[in-house]
């Protein structure tokens, strides 16, 4: 696989993860928080730490009702999954560096 193809694959995986994460956030997290806490408490947040607080509150609600829907795993491990993109990006940079040598 060429470096360009490798870079495109990594970029597409990163974009797909961001879209999936936003889909879970807007489709599942915010409606439940609006129901529980009211409209003002569940406004969409762009800042990662505030969004993380909302997701943690949502996961706490899931723990209280002992229900694990399919989307709880990616929400619970969202930082770990995002960090998995770092080695992929590093492989692209390493391959570019090797080719320049």
Query: How does pLDDT run across 61-91, given as a tens digit for each residue?
Result: 777 766 677 777 777 777 777 777 778 778 8
In which band, very low, low, confident or very high, does the pLDDT at 39 lie, cut at 50, 70 and 90? Answer: low
Tokens of 64: 């209280």
- Is the pLDDT at 22 greater than 80? The verdict is yes
Burial class (CB in 10 A: 0-12, 13-18, 19+), 24: middle
- Is the pLDDT at 20 greater than 80? The verdict is yes
Give me the chain's average pLDDT, please: 77
- State the number of CA atoms in the 13 A half-sphere of 96 facing the CB: 10
**Residue 42: what pLDDT?**
64
The DSSP code for 47 is: S
d(CA 55, CA 21): 11
């Amino acid at each position: 696989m060429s470096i360009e193809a490798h870079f495109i694959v990594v970029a597409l995986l990163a974009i797909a993860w961001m879209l999936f994460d936003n889909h879970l956030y807007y489709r599942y997290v915010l409606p439940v928080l609006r129901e529980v806490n009211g409209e003002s408490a569940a406004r969409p947040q762009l800042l990662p730490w505030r969004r993380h607080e909302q997701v943690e509150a949502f996961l706490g609600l899931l723990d209280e009702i002992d229900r694990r829907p399919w989307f709880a795993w990616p929400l619970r491990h969202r930082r770990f999954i995002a960090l998995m993109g770092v080695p992929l990006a590093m492989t692209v940079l390493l391959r570019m560096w090797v080719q320049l040598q």
